[in-house]
A and B are shown apart, each in its own frame.
Chain A
Amino acid sequence: MKNKPNYFLLFSVGIISCIVVFMVNLSIGSVSIPVSEIGMSFFGNEFSRKSWEIIVFDYRIPKAFTAVLAGITLSVSGLQMQTFFRNPLAGPFVLGISSGAGLGVALLVMAGSAFGLSFFSGGFGLWAVVFAASIGAILVLLLMSLTAWRVKDSMTLLIVGLMFGSLAGAIVSVLSYFSDANQLKVYTVWSMGSLGSTHSGQLELFFFASILGIIPVLIFIKSYNAMLLGEAYAKSMGVNIHRLRWAMIISTGILAGSATAFCGPIAFIGIAVPHMARLIFKTGDHRILFPASALMGAIVLLMCDAISQIPGSAQTLPINAVTSLVGAPMVIWLILKRNFSKEF
């Protein structure tokens, strides 16, 4: 490295871009509201139209905050897994968390129709989806923990996680084969992901879960640096691999699990953002990489959300499709541009 990047400058630019993207995100939508108006409203000025105030404060700000939280949680869990498994393609979903959540939601949709109940009306329905997704994610997580208890090798854990994911996916396929068009639509809409469905109380809970999930990362931040050299070296430097593995499972479970529960599966953020952070910040030091990934995750998801709004139109694209459209070429480009194995 010829000259060390100026982290202070990079973080400053990052925070400013995050604020800018946040403001742009608020202004874009079916009703376009000028950024200047939104900016002034934060300093106590009235909106020139009353409806704008409702749109911004009741809909767009919660959604933008959801995007920020989801971006942070998914990127931080992605970085944890990539370092722990020493695998550049590891992401929060390789432990089967999103598939588990999907299975939970699919079961809810089926069970709901079997008992003649409609879970998808009113406030109760929204919580029911969150609840089902969380239960699904937690169940897969428990299975993974049991596996982690027995298996010593991290690579095996990764493969078992992928298999759990496939298994959950297969059960969802079977369920959708037997469900009717309406149920299928409900599930499909959920699986497209949405940042706009966090309602009163949910955003607070999501925020609380994110804080809770980040605590293990802060406790073990030094151990992640030691893990750069692999498990054996980390052990020789006094890192308790077992404890770190549990911290990683619990942290990613809470972070990715809550993001999936509140927003549905959102692809590629967890895989692509840590690589972007490494590329831009040019470091392997996790004390820099964790905050950098969190910041970039927030920016990227806010941008994806802005793209999904297609300014001026009433329709929005599913967020999962946008992140995939942005993320997949990004990962391909990264692979082609650099030797992927040397990213770490």
Chain B
Amino acid sequence: MGDRKIILKSNGLNLGYKKQGESIIIAEDIDFELKKGALTCLLGPNGVGKSTLIKTIMGQLPALQGSVILDDSPLGDYSLKELSKRIAVVLTDKVSLGNVTVYQLVSLGRIPHTTWLGSMSSMDHTKVEKAIEVTHISYLKDKVLSELSDGQLQKVMIARALAQDGEILILDEPTAHLDLINRFEIMHLLRKIAKEENKAVLVVTHDLEIAIDTADEFWLMQCGLPLECAAPEDLIVSGKINLLLPSGTLKFNPITGKIQDSTPYDYPIIQGDVKLTNWLKLIIRKNSLVFDEDLQVISILENPFLIKVKGEKKEQNYNSFKAFLEDLS
């Protein structure tokens, strides 16, 4: 375990922007601590101010009140150039470059460290090679960006941020538009980077389930509420994770680890292994299946697979969910 030193913190931070001399506050009274060697996920609905928060942390937007403290000094005391050596980012901005190779793009990360002409020392090349190795993109090194898939491109952008060599890595929705495998890979890669490179990694994401699997800390942002910072497991057990689902119709199910419809549903009596009954409940609920009055019990068996619908008079057997559904609806 790397040392979990706090590198970035804030208290009483007000976020927003100034428009024609008037401050428009987006979020108030935000306290947080970002730790090295930990993967932190920032979650919250669209429009709650996640982007404003990370822009403020990046030093691109001044805080309306309070301040972000980087290593004992407020962010405002650092120049853009000094900040660029501490904080690297992966943004949602589309990058479409045809003539640039992966290696060249990752090298762009060294810009804050090179001389005015941008010539790379052997140390710069070592850092670029390291970043490429950590993100497992060595096989792409000489490819041109237009030849990459979205998932590969995202890894290249992460490598570029790594090459920038700051202690803080901020990623704005790095897994949006990616397929399931790539989402898992990217998030696990980020966790590995936090642990092995001892970086403070902050990820804005909407992938709750993958975030629970990988993050050390969650920051939950919800309109009008203070920022909730805790381990995801604590948030689940205390039920605070449901802050993300304010409407009340959806609820986080702490057993399945999924978000489900929270309105109560009257299931018939079901017998069998939880592994199977959960899916049976799902298909019943999803299709609002109605059963005969005389239904006594539905039992489900795994090997061989069998759904037994037992009524007072008759008993029906099905060997697949599909057959079960077709007969009942």
Q: Which A residues are within 8 Å of any B CB, using their own CB?
A: 1-2, 219, 221-222, 225-226, 228-230, 232-233, 235-240, 278, 282-285, 287, 338-339, 341-344
List the A side residues contacting B142 at CB < 8 Å: 1-2
Closest to B110 in A: A237
Taking a contact as CB atoms under 8 Å apart, the answer to whether B99 and A343 are in contact is yes
Taking a contact as CB atoms under 8 Å apart, the answer to whether A235 and B118 are in contact is no
List the B side residues contacting A233 at CB < 8 Å: 89, 91, 93, 95
Taking a contact as CB atoms under 8 Å apart, the answer to whether A238 and B83 are in contact is yes
The yes or no answer to B288 lying at the interface (CB within 8 A) is no
List the B side residues contacting A287 at CB < 8 Å: 117-118
Chain B residues touching A, range:
35 or more
Closest to A231 in B: B93
Taking a contact as CB atoms under 8 Å apart, the answer to whether A238 and B112 are in contact is yes
- Min CB distance A280 to B, Å, is 11
Known contacts A230-B95, A236-B84, A236-B87, then 12 further A-B pairs from the complex at CB < 8 Å, ordered by chain A residue? A225-B111, A226-B108, A229-B108, A232-B60, A232-B93, A233-B89, A233-B93, A233-B95, A238-B79, A284-B100, A285-B100, A342-B97
Closest to B99 in A: A284
- Residue in contact with B117 in the complex, picked from A222, A228, A236, A237, CB distance below 8 Å: A222
Taking a contact as CB atoms under 8 Å apart, the answer to whether A238 and B97 are in contact is no
A278 to B98, CA, bound (A): 10
The yes or no answer to B104 lying at the interface (CB within 8 A) is yes
List the B side residues contacting A228 at CB < 8 Å: 97, 100, 108
Query: Could you jot down 20 A-B contacts, CB within 8 Å?
Result: A1-B101, A222-B117, A229-B93, A229-B108, A230-B91, A230-B93, A232-B93, A235-B60, A236-B89, A237-B109, A238-B82, A238-B111, A240-B80, A283-B100, A283-B104, A284-B99, A284-B100, A342-B98, A344-B97, A344-B99
> Which of B80, B99, B142, B143 gathers the greatest number of chain A CB atoms within 10 Å?
B99
Taking a contact as CB atoms under 8 Å apart, the answer to whether A339 and B111 are in contact is no
Taking a contact as CB atoms under 8 Å apart, the answer to whether A225 and B108 are in contact is yes
List the B side residues contacting A343 at CB < 8 Å: 98-99
Kindly list the 9 A-B residue pairs having the minimum CB-CB distance in the complex, ordered from nearest: A342-B98, A238-B84, A238-B81, A222-B118, A284-B100, A238-B112, A236-B89, A284-B99, A237-B111
- Min CB distance A24 to B, Å, is 31
A2 to B143, CA, bound (A): 8
Taking a contact as CB atoms under 8 Å apart, the answer to whether A237 and B164 are in contact is yes
> Which of A229, A230, A342 gathers the greatest number of chain B CB atoms within 10 Å?
A229
Closest to B146 in A: A342
A31 to B97, CA, bound (A): 48
The yes or no answer to B96 lying at the interface (CB within 8 A) is yes
The yes or no answer to B138 lying at the interface (CB within 8 A) is no
List the B side residues contacting A222 at CB < 8 Å: 111, 114, 116-118
List the B side residues contacting A282 at CB < 8 Å: 99
- Min CB distance A334 to B, Å, is 12
- State whether A283 and B60 are in contact (beta carbons under 8 Å apart), knowing that A1-B144, A2-B142, A226-B108 are contacts in the complex: no
A282 to B104, CA, bound (A): 12
List the A side residues contacting B82 at CB < 8 Å: 238
Taking a contact as CB atoms under 8 Å apart, the answer to whether B111 and A226 are in contact is yes
- Min CB distance B147 to A, Å, is 9
The yes or no answer to B211 lying at the interface (CB within 8 A) is no
Taking a contact as CB atoms under 8 Å apart, the answer to whether A284 and B104 are in contact is yes
The yes or no answer to B58 lying at the interface (CB within 8 A) is yes
Closest to A278 in B: B99
- Min CB distance B14 to A, Å, is 22
1/0 contact string of B69-81 vs chain A (CB within 8 Å): 0000000000111
The yes or no answer to B229 lying at the interface (CB within 8 A) is no
List the B side residues contacting A221 at CB < 8 Å: 116-118
List the B side residues contacting A239 at CB < 8 Å: 80, 111
Closest to B81 in A: A238
The yes or no answer to B42 lying at the interface (CB within 8 A) is no
A284 to B79, CA, bound (A): 28
A279 to B267, CA, bound (A): 67
The yes or no answer to B53 lying at the interface (CB within 8 A) is no
List the B side residues contacting A230 at CB < 8 Å: 91, 93, 95
A221 to B115, CA, bound (A): 11
- Min CB distance B96 to A, Å, is 6
List the A side residues contacting B99 at CB < 8 Å: 278, 282-284, 343-344
A339 to B144, CA, bound (A): 14
The yes or no answer to B88 lying at the interface (CB within 8 A) is yes
- Min CB distance A225 to B, Å, is 6
List the B side residues contacting A232 at CB < 8 Å: 60, 89, 91, 93
Closest to A235 in B: B60
List the B side residues contacting A240 at CB < 8 Å: 80
Interface residues of B in 1-53 (CB under 8 A from A): none
A232 to B79, CA, bound (A): 16
A287 to B91, CA, bound (A): 25
- Min CB distance A276 to B, Å, is 13
1/0 contact string of B210-232 vs chain A (CB within 8 Å): 00000000000000000000000
Taking a contact as CB atoms under 8 Å apart, the answer to whether B104 and A285 are in contact is yes
- Min CB distance A146 to B, Å, is 18
A237 to B80, CA, bound (A): 8
List the B side residues contacting A284 at CB < 8 Å: 97-100, 104
Taking a contact as CB atoms under 8 Å apart, the answer to whether B98 and A338 are in contact is yes
- Min CB distance A88 to B, Å, is 10
A1 to B143, CA, bound (A): 6
List the B side residues contacting A278 at CB < 8 Å: 99
A240 to B111, CA, bound (A): 13
List the A side residues contacting B98 at CB < 8 Å: 284, 338-339, 341-344
Closest to B96 in A: A341
List the A side residues contacting B97 at CB < 8 Å: 228-229, 284, 342, 344
List the A side residues contacting B60 at CB < 8 Å: 232, 235-236
List the B side residues contacting A226 at CB < 8 Å: 108, 111
- Min CB distance B148 to A, Å, is 12
- State whether A236 and B95 are in contact (beta carbons under 8 Å apart), knowing that A1-B144, A2-B142, A226-B111 are contacts in the complex: no
List the A side residues contacting B89 at CB < 8 Å: 232-233, 236
- Min CB distance A56 to B, Å, is 38
1/0 contact string of B114-155 vs chain A (CB within 8 Å): 101110000000000000000000000011101000000000
